[in-house]
Structure 1
């Protein structure tokens, strides 16, 4: 409680080292805790606003199974549960055990009857799962870079295969010139899937949202 009060006067920052993500920063500011890397917000800051904007673009009313690739501090899970009153199944995947530990200890994100947290590489998980999801959220970053392997057609083939009919895909990416998502757009078009791209969400990110309902 004392730290929370102090955070209204000046931020309190604690650094945690991760093999996969480098130095992570937990900052308590104005009574709230944020998870950041050296160059970007991972949870409970601008990222949470970006993903909430994205979720407002899709219909969750009939969704029974959501997959989140990239847990971070778990802010998107809290947004889905609290802001959208979603009470069905969520599976969250992250390859960094340090991130998963932070999500649990600092933000209360744990396994329960309707929430499954898995420590795995996202590419391996989506390749090996037989489950179908009404919504897949792809929010995969290492610091402020997107792993190249999630831009490959092979990854997106598996994403589309595991998205339920009339389900949605949300892909949070960057408005950087070298973040080329044209091959992904080509893949979606070839499959006859509708998609939209929202640029400069929160002045930083580009979000692709696809509806897996063939024409």
Structure 2
């Protein structure tokens, strides 16, 4: 066994760090025998985050996800949810990933082989602009956007939500990962739930996933 991988069961072992204008600093590390991508203050890909999003995919249903023709991932980071879609769900359709931080994609390509995945298109850009401008329709949109451990406010805006609705197919589904660690986060998510209730057919909320994560699964 790789000695760094072995030691990571005792303490995380950093193997590469790179500055990022978007997330300040990103690092690749061995943690509990697994290679992960972390920002300064939180796990960015693989590790606990992969478990959170896999939980969401299970709640949607692997068979339903597998039947999708086109999936959008807004906030790719290291690509752990994309790997879950392919390796665990068995998804073989098209994936469009949108990621603002090119440094994250460079690390994902180098350490996790993201650029070796067929039927995957990566767009370096702003998810807010992407959903406003795209003419594509998606069966599933996965939203997992953080700048370090902060969620941009636009994610909870009515305009962004309306744009997400517009780029869904008639039976499209959204999986949205959020963090709830303060009272203001709780209020923000409660207001978001109220916004969804006026626009969506079905809404499910799952709280305290791997700690402070709260998932929304909603359908058009």
TM-score, normalised to structure 1's length?
0.92
Q: 1:111 to 1:164 in 2, by over 3 A?
A: farther
1:98-121 deviation digits (Å, cap 9, x = unpaired) = 011011111100165411011010
1:203 alignment counterpart: 211
1:75 alignment counterpart: 80
Moved more, 192-201 or 48-57: 192-201
1:5 alignment counterpart: 3
Moved more, 47-56 or 23-32: 23-32
Q: How many residues align?
A: 210
Contact 1:5 1:31 in 2 (8 A): no
Contact 2:97 2:122 in 1 (8 A): yes
1:169 alignment counterpart: 174
Name whichever structure is richer in helix by fraction. Answer: 2
1:45 aligns with 2:62: no
Structure 2 unmatched ranges of 5 or more: none
Contact 2:141 2:174 in 1 (8 A): yes
Q: 1:164 to 1:142 in 2, by over 3 A?
A: same
Q: 1:192 to 1:156 in 2, by over 3 A?
A: closer
Q: 1:147 to 1:192 in 2, by over 3 A?
A: closer
2:184 alignment counterpart: 178
Q: 1:161 to 1:182 in 2, by over 3 A?
A: farther
1:9-54 deviation digits (Å, cap 9, x = unpaired) = 2543122110100111211245421111121100111000000000
Q: CA deviation at 1:127?
A: 0.5
CA distance in 2, matches of 1:192, 1:116: 28
Q: 1:46 to 1:165 in 2, by over 3 A?
A: same
Contact 1:7 1:29 in 2 (8 A): yes
Q: CA deviation at 1:62?
A: 2.5
1:163-200 deviation digits (Å, cap 9, x = unpaired) = 11121101100123222023432332222421011000
1:190 aligns with 2:191: no
